[in-house]
């Protein structure tokens, strides 16, 4: 098992590359929310909700890849 500070350092090393995914996540969240709602307020709340979900899911996938990559 990778100690927590080491895992955090590994993630910080990847931060510049991970920042390129933020506009894609924002665009995907906005488009998905806009296709399901008509009210601007509902679209913005749904965009935030979908962005949180996408960041969480993609973050867990990244964590799994890093952990399994270190095990091999």
- This prediction has a pTM of 0.69
Which of 21-25, 34-38, 48-52 is the least confident region? 21-25
Q: 42-72 pLDDT, tens per residue?
A: 999 999 999 999 999 988 998 888 888 888 7
Are the CB atoms for 24 and 58 separated by under 8 Å?
no
**Residue 43: what pLDDT?**
93
Question: From CA 31, how far away is CA 14, in angstroms rounded?
Answer: 27
Asked whether the predicted pLDDT for residue 29 surpasses 80, the reply is yes
Q: How many CA atoms lie within 13 A of 14 on its CB side?
A: 12
**Residue 49: what pLDDT?**
95
Q: Largest alpha-carbon pair distance within the chain?
A: 49
């Amino acid at each position: 098992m990778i100690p927590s500070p080491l895992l955090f350092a590994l993630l910080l090393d990847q931060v510049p590359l991970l920042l390129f995914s933020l506009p894609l996540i924002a665009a995907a969240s906005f488009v998905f929310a806009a296709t399901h709602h008509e009210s601007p307020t509902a679209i913005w709340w749904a965009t935030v909700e979908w962005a949180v979900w996408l960041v969480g899911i993609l973050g867990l996938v990244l964590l799994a890849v890093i952990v399994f990559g270190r095990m091999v």
